[in-house]
Structure 1
Amino acid sequence: MSLSTAFTELFGVEHPIALAPMGGSAGGALTAAVSRGGGLGLLGSGNGDRDWLARELPVLTAESAGKPWGVGFQAWAADVGAVEWTLEHGPAAVMLSFGDPRPFAERVRDAGVTLIVQVTDLEEAHRAVDVGADVIVAQGTEGGGHGARHGRSTLPFVPVVVDLAAPVPVLAAGGIADGRGVAAALALGAAGALLGTRFQATTESLVDRATAHAIVAGRSEDTERNRVLDIARGSRWPAKYTARTLPHPFLDRWRNQEAELATDAQAGQSYQEAVARGEIPALPQWAGEAVDLIDDLPSAADLVTTLAAQAEAALKRACGG
């Protein structure tokens, strides 16, 4: 059984699997490994920091073996100049998430680069269609890291976006960590799946080893969507987007007290001091609800192949094969 879809045909990749462009995790080595494995690697540039991009892009281009790759930006935080500068480096795609894609969309299309827009609700999905997205990522609330505070679960959200966006191909995201999840995405009408947490737990990920091992040991019931850690570390993430993380001492202390935390200057200072002392991770440990399915730290290239084989086997079983 071949897993050829509109997504694989669009990019000329072997498998309908993409790397979520996770800031702090999806650096050049991880992005290149996913692309070498037959998926689409997406570099997690976040706000488009030039120094970070200048460090990671050469790694990516050197290790991608000529395979297609892309770069992801947080639309609320990036500036047009960073996107234009990145386009000069020859990405096959630019992905925009969390915010209005309109200031960037025309520049991406004018460069002849595929435009991917991630959406977390139907308003964002309609806007992605209106700006001419070539691919839309429908992200459910089960996903790790940032997502809609009042979004929908992946299972009911993806087919609605598939119908709304047709014939634009849609990738499913949120709570997918093995090939069965990829197969489920295809059954929902998606052209592939975008995975984040699963790729954090790989040898090429930029997360520190303690975080990678915490993901391997993590349980779904331990993950929690919150704004506490963004507020505590002084992040300017819009309130619409909360983040699903593993347990954290500051979350235990300030749960359901976001307003009080935001006005407590001592709390922010205490957070930074605890980071400096090594008592808490420098970044929250982002993880989705499918974290239970992660039990190893493979190479990302090998993982793509494994996910594709698992997906094919799952679809054969579903068809009685």
Structure 2
Amino acid sequence: MELSTAFTELLGVRHPIVLAPMGGSAGGALASAVSRGGGLGMLGAGMGDRDWLARELPVMAGVEEPWGVGFLSWATGAGAVEQALEYGPRAVMLSFGDPSPFVERVRAAGAAVIIQATDLEEARQAVDLGADIIVAQGTESGGHGARRGRSTLPFVPVVVDLAAPVPVLAAGGIADGRGVAAALALGAAGALIGTRFQATAEALADPSVTEAIVRGRGQDTERNSVLDIARGSRWPAKYTARTLGHPYLDRWRGREAELSASAAAQQDYRADVARGAVPPLPVWAGEAVDLVTDMPPAADLVAALATQAVEALARAGRR
């Protein structure tokens, strides 16, 4: 079953389903499986690690279906973007920070420009920059997002109205076909999905992370800056991250300024990671994590999400 939208027509994919370019999970195996399954697979290039790109980009070379790559605007460099463009991605997604240094180069290479917006200011900037597709990310999403963002349900239609006729993808709290159907009902042209795809056969995530996601509950997630501070991460203060529970959250919640000023505490964190007392990375997970109960092949998941979305829309129509 296929759902035709402005997004699927623009990029030539069968289903309005996009793999979120998650750093640490969305490598070549996962992105290629999503694309071959009829969605848009996106490599999670993150900060633009050139060695990582050199390893994962060649996996996409044999993929005939459209695929893309995503970068963190605040952290990547022009060289990494150029490296990715050499492989001919159909789309490049720019998230978190000012995307303007990269937009024209991406457009000149013939790739669609996807810009993620976590608030209306970012959405307006994406429109002004001529984005081909805009992602409206609600605060339910796993991983990083706006500290003072808005929930997906009210945020998406506002961005849809602001951006029209530019296609908008909904992101945040979508983990099954009912969520995809809801995104379409809000006026979005598709859904960008992260947490659900972390628990797939091809994801690069460590098995302990996948197990935690399958066992996780939405009420156990929270948006915080504690773990970025403890890790010495350079993420801009505007963005916090939704994760599952972590010992350092319980220890430092509400004491972020104290943690920032304590070199000893950050050293303790590194020591705890080294001896295995805490996981090497936080478990990024969105509020819809309850819906993740298995680890299917990614292509099968894309097909299931599309079928569920069609069925959900049909049920809504009958009612």
TM-score (norm 2): 0.99
How much does 1:102 deviate? 0.6
CA distance in 2 between partners of 1:79 and 1:309 (Å): 39
The superposition leaves residues 12-37 of structure 1 with CA deviations (integer Å, 9 ceiling, x where unpaired) of: 11100000000111011000010011
The superposition leaves residues 59-101 of structure 1 with CA deviations (integer Å, 9 ceiling, x where unpaired) of: 2324x3x111100000000111211221111100000000011
Asked if residue 244 in structure 1 is aligned to residue 255 in structure 2, the reply is no
Which residue is 2:27 aligned to? 27
How much does 1:2 deviate? 4.3
CA distance in 2 between partners of 1:98 and 1:78 (Å): 11
What aligned pairs does 1:117-136 form with structure 2 within 5 A after superposition?
Answer: 117-136=115-134
Letter in 2 for 1:41: G
Which residue is 1:213 aligned to? 211
Which residue is 2:180 aligned to? 182
Q: Identity of counterpart residues, as a percentage?
A: 75
Letter in 1 for 2:92: V
1:110 paired residue among 105, 108, 128:
108
Asked if residue 7 in structure 1 is aligned to residue 7 in structure 2, the reply is yes
Which residue is 1:167 aligned to? 165
**Does structure 1 retain, via aligned residues, the 8 Å contact 2:178–2:312?**
yes
What aligned pairs does 1:308-319 form with structure 2 within 5 A after superposition?
Answer: 308-319=306-317
Which residue is 1:90 aligned to? 88
How much does 1:276 deviate? 1.1
2:198 paired residue among 200, 203, 218:
200
CA distance in 2 between partners of 1:259 and 1:239 (Å): 12
Letter in 2 for 1:18: V
**Does structure 2 retain, via aligned residues, the 8 Å contact 1:45–1:72?**
yes
Asked if residue 60 in structure 1 is aligned to residue 66 in structure 2, the reply is no
The 4+ residue runs of structure 1 with deviation greater than 6 A are: none
The superposition leaves residues 114-153 of structure 1 with CA deviations (integer Å, 9 ceiling, x where unpaired) of: 0000000000000000001000000000000000000000
Question: Which range is displaced more, 164-173 or 79-88?
Answer: 79-88
CA distance 1:86–1:2, shift in 2 (3 Å): closer
CA distance in 2 between partners of 1:217 and 1:256 (Å): 26
SS at structure 1 position matched to 2:61: helix
SS at structure 1 position matched to 2:318: coil
CA distance in 2 between partners of 1:2 and 1:283 (Å): 37
**Does structure 1 retain, via aligned residues, the 8 Å contact 2:142–2:284?**
yes
CA distance in 1 between partners of 2:292 and 2:61 (Å): 28
The superposition leaves residues 200-230 of structure 1 with CA deviations (integer Å, 9 ceiling, x where unpaired) of: 0111111111110110110010000000000
CA distance in 2 between partners of 1:115 and 1:280 (Å): 38
How much does 1:278 deviate? 1.5
**Does structure 2 retain, via aligned residues, the 8 Å contact 1:139–1:173?**
yes
SS at structure 1 position matched to 2:56: helix
2:304 paired residue among 293, 303, 306:
306
CA distance in 1 between partners of 2:53 and 2:138 (Å): 28
How much does 1:110 deviate? 1.0
How much does 1:281 deviate? 1.2
SS at structure 2 position matched to 1:319: helix
Number of equivalences: 319
**Does structure 2 retain, via aligned residues, the 8 Å contact 1:144–1:196?**
yes
**Does structure 2 retain, via aligned residues, the 8 Å contact 1:32–1:61?**
no
Letter in 2 for 1:228: V
Which residue is 1:47 aligned to? 47
**Does structure 2 retain, via aligned residues, the 8 Å contact 1:93–1:115?**
yes
**Does structure 1 retain, via aligned residues, the 8 Å contact 2:2–2:306?**
no
CA distance in 1 between partners of 2:226 and 2:260 (Å): 9
Asked if residue 273 in structure 1 is aligned to residue 271 in structure 2, the reply is yes
The superposition leaves residues 25-57 of structure 1 with CA deviations (integer Å, 9 ceiling, x where unpaired) of: 101100001001100001000011100000111
**Does structure 2 retain, via aligned residues, the 8 Å contact 1:140–1:174?**
yes
CA distance in 2 between partners of 1:14 and 1:100 (Å): 31
